[in-house]
Structure 1
Amino acid sequence: MMVRSFRERRGRKMMTDSTDKTDTDTASPLRKAPVVRQISISDVIDALGDGMRDFHRAPIYGLAFGAFFTIGGLLIVLTAAAFDMSYLSYPLAAGFALIGPFAAVGLYEVSRRLSRNEPLSWSAILGTMWAQKSRELSWMAFVVLFVQIMWMYQVRLLLALFLGFRSFASFGEFLSEIVNTPEGLMFLAIGHVVGAILSLILFSLTVVSFPLLMEEDRDFITAMITSVKAVAMSPVPMIGWAIVVTISLIVSIAPAFAGLVITLPILGHTTWHLYKKCVEPEVPS
């Protein structure tokens, strides 16, 4: 009886192992990572031209997203002033610009539809943006938020180190302090260096990942790795584009964020075309 029971258990185990092996053998292969291409400065210039053409072809959408982003920036700065924290207006404005890639998702969809000659409508654009809440792109919001928190934390830390724990009655008083004192100039210099490092990290993580996640069903870790690879493979043109973006945003923010109405849509459309040049389209299996 014991021998028969042992044989029955052994037979069942062999059948289970055989079934597991069959399931493993017939399983679909792992999905390949996105293929990244090396680009040149001329590719960046071409992408910028394509972005300007997209803005010209669908100006209503670009102006609407740009205006929405501009109003958001103004509200943040005005809120800081209302709470007697106007000295944080500049770092808040600079930090607000970091969320540009996430705000440009609608612009990526406009460029995608224009490239495929698909009809444009607000219901289609906003519907695509709303659908991202249940996809991996929503996780990128936490990445951007984390960098934003790190940016504000280092501003507060540097303020405490160089200017002490004191408040300023106005942004003008704060500006006078950092421009006319050695401590203020040191705060300004180190703050910009740290900000540049954080901006470069965020740029490397997001320049390709946002449009990739919007177009393909990928996980956000793969998207960020792909984005970093794109920057690493073409450092000169990609860092050059990052400098263009930074200068454009600084110039646009200066006149009460008004320049973002034009700058944001052009940068958003251009980023989409730059992504298409950096990453080969996925071939359906």
Structure 2
Amino acid sequence: MTSKIEEAERPDNLTPQQRAQPKANKLTSDDITASLKAGFSDFMARPFMSGFFGLFYALIGLFIVWCLVWLGNIWMIIPAAVGFPLVAPFAAAGLYEMSRRLQKGKNFGWSEILAVMAKQRKREMGWMAFTTLFIFWVWIYQFRTVLVVVLQDSSFSDFDGFLNIVFFTPEGWTFLAIGTLLGAVLSAVLFSVTVVAMPMLLDQDIDFVTAMLTSIRVVTENPLVMLSWAAIISVTTLLSMVPAFLGLIVTLPILGHTTWHLYERAVQPVEG
């Protein structure tokens, strides 16, 4: 039996959850390869259900572009198209749950997957969504600021005119250089805090700050491997957006399933 003296000496602010923190594993390029194979296998196991999430994401992208054209904010098409993939990890929650159930050999249908996604509103993933959208908003705001400062003397009335100024004038080149640098910094920040945080929040009962810190540790302890994964995501997603976002119907589900398997290789679950 624990004495009253021992109980008095025990710090009140130390709980089992605080002592047990997720640990980041060392990764190699083989982990990315194996995760991609597993992700593709998950997609082929349920292609229509997986493709639905990709289709939904693609339709949202098309709707955003249509709204920008309709509102006459043609300058926002480029930052929206570039920044839109940044919110993909949150949209892939259903794909993570599918991979988790496939890995455990469980049968599931739409009701099970959608129920799990709905429950995330009451858990920590809502805060992660807020963080993601906030960084996306910062990206749009910074893009607009650079546009006003650098291209203040330029005028364009349509999207073709905007592209002509951006790609074929010295001011446009300066604008692209600064915008690319800012975009790279914000993308690196968002990638670091979300790359494994999203599937971790779905899989474990932890807070979103712990998930983000663990995600950052995974990136800092595996810089080259995670940089390679970030490049794969960026190039694949941007190329998939070229044919009217339709490529995302296939690539987004595969990347989402792959992210789940990479998370399992990158993070040791909390014990206890």
Bucket of the pairwise TM-score, normalised by the shorter protein: over 0.9
- TM-score scaled to structure 2, two decimals? 0.93
> Within the alignment, does 1:21 sit opposite 2:13 as a pair?
no
Instruction: Tell me which moved more, 226-235 or 90-99.
Output: 90-99
- Written as runs of structure 1 = structure 2, the 5 A alignment for 1:40-189 is 40-164=28-152, 168-189=156-177
Q: What corresponds to 1:261 in structure 2? A: 249
Q: Is residue 85–residue 167 contact of structure 1 (8 Å, CA) maintained in 2?
A: no
Larger radius of gyration: 1
Q: Is residue 90–residue 198 contact of structure 2 (8 Å, CA) maintained in 1?
A: yes
Q: Is residue 178–residue 188 contact of structure 1 (8 Å, CA) maintained in 2?
A: yes
Q: Structure 2: which amino acid aligns with 1:214? A: L
Q: Is residue 252–residue 258 contact of structure 1 (8 Å, CA) maintained in 2?
A: yes
Q: What corresponds to 1:3 in structure 2? A: none
Q: What corresponds to 1:13 in structure 2? A: none
Q: Structure 2: which amino acid aligns with 1:43? A: D
Deviation at 1:87, TM superposition (A): 2.2
Cα distance between partner residues in 2 of 1:41 and 1:58: 26
Q: Is residue 43–residue 257 contact of structure 2 (8 Å, CA) maintained in 1?
A: yes
Q: What corresponds to 2:27 in structure 1? A: 39
Provide the secondary structure at the position in 1 that maps to 2:268. coil
Cα distance between partner residues in 1 of 2:77 and 2:166: 14
How many pairs align? 267
Deviant stretches of 4+, over 4 Å: 17-20, 22-25
Cα displacement string for residues 32-82 of structure 1 (whole angstroms, at most 9, x for unaligned residues): 100110000111111011100000111112110000000000111110000
Q: What corresponds to 1:212 in structure 2? A: 200
Cα displacement string for residues 130-166 of structure 1 (whole angstroms, at most 9, x for unaligned residues): 0000101110011101111110011101101111176
Deviation at 1:24, TM superposition (A): 6.1
Structure 2: unaligned runs, 5 residues or longer: none
> Within the alignment, does 1:221 sit opposite 2:209 as a pair?
yes
- TM-score scaled to structure 1, two decimals? 0.89
Q: Structure 2: which amino acid aligns with 1:174? A: F
Superposition CA RMSD, Å = 1.8
Deviation at 1:182, TM superposition (A): 0.2
Cα distance between partner residues in 2 of 1:36 and 1:223: 11
Q: Is residue 44–residue 241 contact of structure 1 (8 Å, CA) maintained in 2?
A: yes
Provide the secondary structure at the position in 2 that maps to 1:214. helix
Cα distance between partner residues in 2 of 1:207 and 1:242: 9
